[in-house]
Structure 1
Amino acid sequence: MKIKMKSWLHKDKLPTDIFNKLGLRGLGQGKVKDGKNYKYYKRYMELWKKKDAAYQTKMDKKLDLWLTMKLLPTDVYRQLGLRGVKSNEPLISSSGKAL
């Protein structure tokens, strides 16, 4: 299970997806903690929170640097590898959701 969790984290699988993969969906609110895979979901949530916090810290530092440097949105897009994106265009992720 450790290998699966590492893979899920590496692929940025959302906790809700993992909840479903572990068969916890549909158990009912009072029965989820009794599910045989709940301990894995709980551990995944702990790992997800750590990963998310580290990512947020990294992005906060980048944002502070960009603000200090007074970069324009087009400059930031270039640094992020988003060449050709205009600053007034909404960014869309591969899942089709606006970023």
Structure 2
Amino acid sequence: MTGFKVTFNQNVKLGMDIYRKGDSTTVDEGVCDELVELDVIEEGFELVMKEPKRVEEMTVPELKEYATENDIDLGEAKKRDDILAVIQSFEEENAPEE
């Protein structure tokens, strides 16, 4: 997975995170494009490879997005542990056989 390491040229709230002038983070291409349009990042951001997050490390919104992207029906699961259990069960059932 690729991303862009950016450095902010002013204080910015990005989602739930707050970054101060001079702070750096890695963002996806779409977010990077938006930040360029808003002129809130310094020039010269770099392309970096990001390791994909393990599902055990994901937040509820990330788990829901992961489920949507992988056509996983979460049913009535709402809590993180329930969502994670559904995803893990799906992955075990659909793992390639060795």
User: Shorter chain as normaliser: what TM range?
Assistant: under 0.3
Query: TM-score scaled by structure 1?
Result: 0.27
Higher helix share: 1
Q: Which has the higher contact order (CA 8 A, sep 6+)?
A: 2
Q: Which has the larger radius of gyration?
A: 1
